[in-house]
Chain A
Amino acid sequence: MSHRISSRMIAALLACCAFLGAARAVAAEAVARLDGLPAPVLVNQFYECLLLVTDADGAGLPGLRLQIRGRMPEHAHGLPTAPRISEESGGRYRIKGLSFNMPGRWVIEILRDGKPLLRQELTVQF
């Protein structure tokens, strides 16, 4: 009897672990990367780039509600423009209107439903 109970407990525990693992996978499933920004990025130019968002298996994630914001960690201000993100196809999103008006370290953040999805640092030069 006690043996059966402990088997059930172990099975439940395993199921629970499997569920938690799956939950973690859901939480971490979106993988995002920026593509197409030149190096170096220069001040006072307009840039356009691609944002690729996939699940853990590499399949594109369409239909996401994404926002972009940026800032200079050493300063009090954000980006000089309000860039726009538009969906192209299957997890490909195009960012237009990106610009930087000061040299130095900038941080770009992509938000999905208001939550951080990607954080990328870049150094802007003259």
Chain B
Amino acid sequence: MSRTLASFFGLLLLSALFVVFHHVHAADDIHGGWSEDDMRSMRGLRLSVEGIADKNRSNELLRRDDAIELGRLLFHDPGMSGSGQVACSTCHRPENGYQDTEFMTFRLDPEARHRAPGLLGVALQDWFFWDGRADSLWSQALAVIENPAEHASSRLQAVRHLCARYSESFPALLRDCLRIDLPGAPVHASPLAAEENWRRLSAAQREGIDKLFVILGKSIAAFEAGRLLPGVSRFDLYVDAIAAGDSAAAAAILSEKEAAGLKLFLDAQVGCVNCHNGPMFSNSGFFVVATDTPGQPEHDRRRGIEILLDSEFNCLKWSEPENCPKLLYIKKDEAETTGAYKVPSLRNLRHAPAFMHDGRFKNLEAVIEHYQNPATLPLRHVDIRPAALFPHQREQLLSFLNVLGTEAASK
């Protein structure tokens, strides 16, 4: 009997020792126990802006200093807008990571179906707008100017303002301003925003306005590509430390909880990294994540493709086919594009006031809760499965997402 008791207590002691030992070494394990697959994933997520040139091949002004400076001025200039009150920076607030912190998207248009995203690293995207209806950053800027819910302007007004205000300061870029016979009236003309007035212009005027309008868009894009770049985050420093084999340094960069969140993020079964991969934590894809509203008109990927193919500013209309592989090989599968939206970046979400394409969630907790058990209708195509995370794992994941801001200070 006493021998049985001794065995029992012995086992109990061993178990207790195991628990203590495991706990003490958990910290070492989490920072030192990354697999080769994990390392490959992390290296792929490490911030790099090398891809910008390749992703902006249709913008020949990308690296020009004068275009970057003109783009900076235009980004903050409300003079192109219909009311004279709205600049790009009205929604994309520079002091808040170029996020729409004041919900200006919805204040300008209460019926707006999409919210303005943050812009740091935007030039690393393949597609623009939540439905990807623009295939270049420069054509995205042009669409905003002529959108009645945003700049509410027209290309004639924008070009007239561009030439009047900037042609002397930027002669190399805007020499066409001197050659074009811009009409003094009407105020607006565009095939989209003021069609009747546009038709009354001569073919030479229309062509000249379009060329200058494209220079305007390419300059704004050059500014965004050259200046609106994400900073190095604690995650990036962590990857560097792990790649250098310095788990002590790594442990000083991420807490155990944050590193556990990273591990969950990289777990293919949890699924985050399947779509949120690459240096901006987005694979530039479009997926159905149970956020559409069946039966209601949607600006989903299916509609975005229709608009893009019809757009007078898509890549193939203004550049050589070799610069337009995304458009050349665009996928049109209706089953997979209905209700699909672009995978957003996960970097710099600190100032993000809302999440998902329509801003339906006001915090990341609600987003994770959505993925925990996405509500789907029967027979609907959907690309995600319930994440099935325990409450403490959801907290770990959340703590990791907060690591992806630009603040590179220690924890």
Q: Could you list which residues of chain A lie within 8 angstroms of chain B, going by C-beta atoms?
A: 43-44, 46, 75-84, 96-97, 99, 101-104, 125-126
Contacts and interface: CB of A to CB of B under 8 A. Distances in A.
Nearest to A104: B268
A92 B275 CA distance: 34
B274 interface: yes
Nearest to B126: A44
B383 A43 contact: no
A82 B332 CA distance: 8
30 contacts: A43-B44, A43-B277, A43-B283, A44-B277, A44-B278, A46-B329, A75-B274, A78-B331, A78-B333, A80-B283, A80-B285, A81-B330, A82-B329, A82-B330, A84-B329, A97-B328, A99-B329, A101-B283, A102-B274, A102-B275, A103-B41, A103-B273, A103-B277, A104-B268, A104-B274, A125-B40, A126-B40, A126-B41, A126-B44, A126-B277
A46 B329 CA distance: 10
B43 A76 contact: no
B216 to A, nearest CB: 30
Contact of B329 (A75, A96, A125, A126): A96
Contacts of B278: 43-44
A83 B333 CA distance: 12
B382 interface: yes
A75 B331 contact: no
Contacts of A44: 277-278, 283-284
B382 A76 contact: yes
B287 interface: yes
Contact of A78 (B44, B268, B336, B382): B336
A82 B275 CA distance: 19
A24 B330 CA distance: 38
Q: Give the interface SS of chain A, mostly helix, strand, loop or mixed.
A: loop
B84 interface: no
B275 A80 contact: no
Nearest to A69: B333
A18 to B, nearest CB: 45
A75 B284 CA distance: 17
Contacts of B287: 77
Interface of B: 40-41, 43-44, 268, 273-275, 277-278, 283-285, 287, 325-326, 328-333, 336, 381-383
A18 B160 CA distance: 81
A97 B285 contact: no
B383 A77 contact: yes
Contacts of A82: 329-333
Contacts of B274: 75, 102-104
B174 to A, nearest CB: 35
Given A43-B44, A81-B330, A97-B325, 4 more contacts: A78-B331, A80-B285, A81-B329, A82-B331
Contacts of B44: 43, 126
A101 B330 CA distance: 13
Contacts of A102: 274-275, 277, 283, 285
A79 B275 contact: no
Given A125-B40, A126-B41, A76 B329 contact: no
B383 A75 contact: yes
Contacts of A79: 331
B411 to A, nearest CB: 26
Contacts of A125: 40
Contacts of B268: 103-104
Nearest to A72: B274
B332 A46 contact: no
A41 to B, nearest CB: 13
B285 A101 contact: yes
Contacts of A43: 44, 277-278, 283
A78 to B, nearest CB: 7
A76 B283 CA distance: 17
